[in-house]
Chains A and B, each alone.
Chain A
Amino acid sequence: MSTVPGFLLDRVTVTRGPTRLLDGVCARLPAGACTAVVGPSGAGKSTLLRLLNRLEDPSTGQILLNSTPLAELEVLALRRRVGLVAQQPVLLTNHVAEELRVGRAELTEHRIQHLLDLVGLPARFAQRRTSGLSGGEAQRVCLARTLAVEPEVLLLDEPTAALDAVTTAVITEAARNHTAAGGTVILVSHDLPLVRGIAEHVLVLHHGRLVAHGHPDHIDYLEAG
């Protein structure tokens, strides 16, 4: 079998009760690039992301990562390779430094400073209580927490929804840096400027079906369609 870098979705269907969240999706999400998944609410975008780190499994069809079915990979190792930043920031501990160590307990002070720098937060934030963070700061800490695990693939689920311009800029930059370093980014977003700014490839979902895919320059047309 030849190695196809990145994710390959092969006739992926997800049903929940009577509802088809994804319906026979075939797509390729290439490694080392940023792919954006767009579409109206309820189109199945977040479900697609949850399949990629096996928070959910397809009802039928399969997903391959570098030509290996996800189901054959050790799931905990897979989740460390495929990091997910959720739409709503969820902080798990009391202090920022502690937060960054949730997925990697042995993180050094130096590395913590570096991660905070990557997400545009000053070094003193390491000692800050998480309860006092703004929404944008919390989202950046969540991004740093995911980056601490050093994932190959970064899944971003509406990471800038309802957040400030600075946070949006930081997340954009982090996504660009990730692909520049050879990593993969899969972005779910309604934010078309963000998609145009960082994505090299766009998938359009509608009612669980892949209705179009292509270069982001066509995104207005695709969205309207």
Chain B
Amino acid sequence: MTGLSVPSWGGVAASLLLIALTAAVAYRQRLHLTRELITASLRAGAQLAAVGVLLLVIFAHTGLPGAFGWVTIMILLAGQVAGRRGTGLPRARWAATLGVAVGSLVTLATLLGLGIISTQARVVVPIGGMIVSGAMQAAGVALRRLREDAQQARPAIEARLCLGLPARDAFLPHQRSALRTALLPAIDSTKVVGLISLPGAMTGLILAGVDPLTAIRYQIVVMYMLLAATALAALTAARLVEHALFDHAHRLIPLPEPH
């Protein structure tokens, strides 16, 4: 490590000049975004300051239980956000929350259980955050696709049911399609990692003074863990929704019309 180089509070204050510049552009161009821009910037600063203080307390006093408490809160929030993508599907928020929880906790437990990452709260919280975020996006995309298919592909699903196929088989092509849609962005970003942009974890480590060859070890683990979290979250959410979409007589339940 070559030493930590982060902006001072004075530096942070000075960076507000960039916001002033952006606000000036927005004002001059009459974008009607100046107020929103300033609010967003101040809100981001306040949110991050609050999170920083909270993390400081967790890292210093609560240890691993506190870290897992934090990860649990993230999972619950992420489940709500991803569940909204499936609005109209039965039990969408429940499915999303459980999907994010399974994807996140299995991945995190594997990383911790195999000793790949340290059990320190300062490691578990940020790594947990990345995992939950990846799982949330995947569950959200999968649910949105499932909702679209369940609404629009009813004739095809019922055609399979009419041939005596069980609900699971009748819905399988749509579930596969939803999972592919959810997984492809993660696979694509894994393919081009480091080529198009330096990824977040690696960038953070390099900024913190870690040499690049060490930083990439972390990044490789991050990419692999995101793939696992994405796949598990999307699959779990999709399976749960599939169960809720069909009744005991293998019938697709009525759904609200697409807008």
Contact = CB atoms under 8 A, between A and B. Distances in A.
A1 interface: no
Contacts of A80: 163-164
A75 B155 contact: no
Interface residues of A, number: 22
Given A75-B250, A90-B155, A53 B162 contact: yes
Nearest to A149: B163
Contacts of A84: 162
B164 A55 contact: no
A53 B160 CA distance: 13
A86 B251 contact: no
Interface in B115-172: 155-156, 158-166
Contact of B250 (A56, A76, A88, A142): A76
B249 A54 contact: yes
A79 B159 contact: no
B164 A103 contact: yes
A92 interface: yes
Contacts, number: 49
A54 B161 CA distance: 10
A102 B166 contact: no
Of listed B164, B165, B251, residue having the most chain A CB within 10 A: B164
B247 to A, nearest CB: 9
Interface string A72-87: 0001110110011010
Contacts of B155: 86, 88, 90
A146 interface: yes
B159 A149 contact: no
Given A76-B166, A80-B164, A103-B164, A90 B249 contact: no
Contact of B164 (A57, A77, A86, A88): A77
A90 B166 CA distance: 18
A142 B163 CA distance: 11
Of listed A77, A92, A142, residue having the most chain B CB within 10 A: A92
B253 to A, nearest CB: 11
Interface in B158-211: 158-166, 173
Given A86-B155, A88-B155, A92-B156, A54 B163 contact: no
Contacts of B162: 53, 55, 79, 83-84, 86, 146
Of listed A86, A90, A103, residue having the most chain B CB within 10 A: A90
A79 to B, nearest CB: 4
Of listed B163, B165, B251, residue having the most chain A CB within 10 A: B163
A55 B158 contact: yes
Given A55-B161, A90-B159, A103-B163, 9 more contacts: A56-B251, A76-B250, A79-B162, A79-B163, A79-B164, A86-B162, A88-B155, A92-B173, A146-B163
Interface of A: 53-57, 75-77, 79-80, 83-84, 86, 88, 90, 92, 102-103, 142, 145-146, 149
20 contacts: A53-B162, A56-B251, A76-B165, A79-B161, A79-B164, A80-B164, A83-B162, A86-B162, A90-B155, A90-B156, A92-B159, A92-B160, A92-B173, A103-B163, A103-B164, A142-B159, A146-B162, A146-B163, A149-B163, A149-B164
